[in-house]
Amino acid sequence: MEMNKIKYIFRSLFLQGFWNFKKMQNIGMLFIMYPYLCNLYSDKDRYFKRAIARNLASFNTNPSMVSFCLGAVMKQEKVLAELSENMPNFFEQEKEWLIIRSSIATTVASLGDRLFWSTIKPLSLVMAFAVLCLGQVHFLNDTVALNDLGLTVLLALMVSFLGYNIPVFITRYRGLALGYEGNEENFFGLINFNWNKIIIILKTMGQGFTLFIFIYGLYFYFLGAVFDAYLITKVTLLAAFVVLSAFVKKWNMPNIYLYLGSVLVFTLVALFS
C-alpha cells in the first residue's frame, strides 16, 4: 500500500473530534481522508470537489475499528480516480462506493461495539482490580494507606490503560492494510479473523479474573470474622445482591437499577442499625 499508514492512523484518532448530530462522524472521516484525496485528484479539480462532497455523506462506526472502513474507502477512491475519464463506469462505481461505505461502517460498528465496548474495556478494568488485589490494596479496608501502595496502584492503572489501548492500536494498524488490500469477497479483510471466537476467549478471560476477584474479596472480607448476627447480616446481603444481579441479567434490566437498589438498601441498613 503506497501510503504512510502511521500518518492516517494518527489522523484517525480525531474521528470523533468533529462529531455532529446531523451526519455524525462524516467530518472526522473527511479529515482523515483529505490528504489522500488531494494526492488522488491533484490534477482533477472537478472530481476532487465531487470526492469531498461524497466523503461528507453520513458516516458512523466504531472508532477503534475505523481503519477497516478507512482502508476499504481508500481502495474504492483509487478505483474512482482511475475511472474518472470513463463517466458511465464512474457513476456506476460511485454508487457501489456508497453501498460499500455504508455496509462496512455498519458491520464494523456492530463488531467493534461487541469487541471493544462490551469485552476489552471491562476486561482491562477487571485486570486492574486483580492487580490491586494481588498488591494487597483492599478498598473495603478504610485503614489502608494508599500512599504506601502507590506502585501497585500505578501498575494497575498501566495494566488497564495498556490492556485496552494495545489491542486498539494493533487493530487500527492491521485494519488499514487489510481493508485496503481486501475486496468484497473477504469483506475488506474483516472475515480474515474469527471475531466470535476472539470475543468468547476474551470474555472467558474476563470471567476468570472476575471470579478471582470475587473469591479473593470474600476471603479478605470474612477473614477473622466471628460467627454472630453481624456476620449473618453481611452474608445475607451479599447473597441477596448476587441473586438480584442474576435476575437483572435474566430480565435484561439496566445494571443501574441494581446499583440504585444497593444504595437504597445500604442506606436503610445504616439508618436503622
For residue 1, name the pLDDT band (cuts at 50, 70, 90). very low
For residue 178, name the pLDDT band (cuts at 50, 70, 90). very high
Which of 39, 108, 27, 105 shows the shortest CA–CA distance to 78? 39
Query: For the residues 11-31, what does the mean pLDDT come to?
Result: 93
| Residue 77 resides in a domain | yes
| Residue 39 resides in a domain | yes
Q: Has residue 144 got a pLDDT over 60?
A: no
> Which of helix, strand or coil describes residue 24?
strand
Q: How far apart are CA 262 and CA 267, in angstroms?
A: 8
How far, rounded to the nearest angstrom, does the alpha carbon of residue 45 sit from its chain's CA centroid?
Answer: 38
Instruction: Collect contacts of 29-34 with beta carbons under 8 A, ≥24 apart.
Output: 29/55, 29/59, 29/66, 29/69, 29/70, 29/73, 30/55, 30/56, 32/8, 32/66, 32/70, 33/70, 33/73, 33/74, 33/77
Query: For the residues 187-193, what does the mean pLDDT come to?
Result: 89
Q: How far apart are CA 117 and CA 115, in angstroms?
A: 6
Residue that wins the pLDDT comparison between 199 and 5: 199
Contact 255, 248 (CB under 8 A): yes
Given 105, 139, 165, which residue is the final one in a domain?
A: 105
Given 105, 134, 169, which residue is the final one in a domain?
A: 105
For the chain, what is the mean pLDDT?
A: 84
Across the strands, what pairs with 24? 20, 59
Residue that wins the pLDDT comparison between 148 and 253: 253
| Residue 142 resides in a domain | no
Given 65, 89, 105, which residue is the final one in a domain?
A: 105
Q: Has residue 239 got a pLDDT over 90?
A: no
Q: Range of 91's domain?
A: 5-105
Instruction: Give the torsion sign (CA, 124, 129, 133, 136).
Output: positive
| Residue 233 resides in a domain | yes
Residue type, 25: Q
| Residue 116 resides in a domain | no
Q: How does pLDDT run across 150-166, given as a tens digit for each residue? A: 788 888 899 999 999 99
Contact 127, 160 (CB under 8 A): yes
Contact residues for 89 (Cβ-Cβ < 8 A; gap 6+): 83
| Residue 136 resides in a domain | no
Q: How does pLDDT run across 57-92, given as a tens digit for each residue? A: 999 999 999 999 999 999 999 988 888 777 677 788
Q: Percent of the chain beyond pLDDT 70?
A: 86
| Residue 150 resides in a domain | no
Extract the C-alpha cell encoding 196: 466470535
Count of domains observed in the chain: 2
| Residue 114 resides in a domain | no
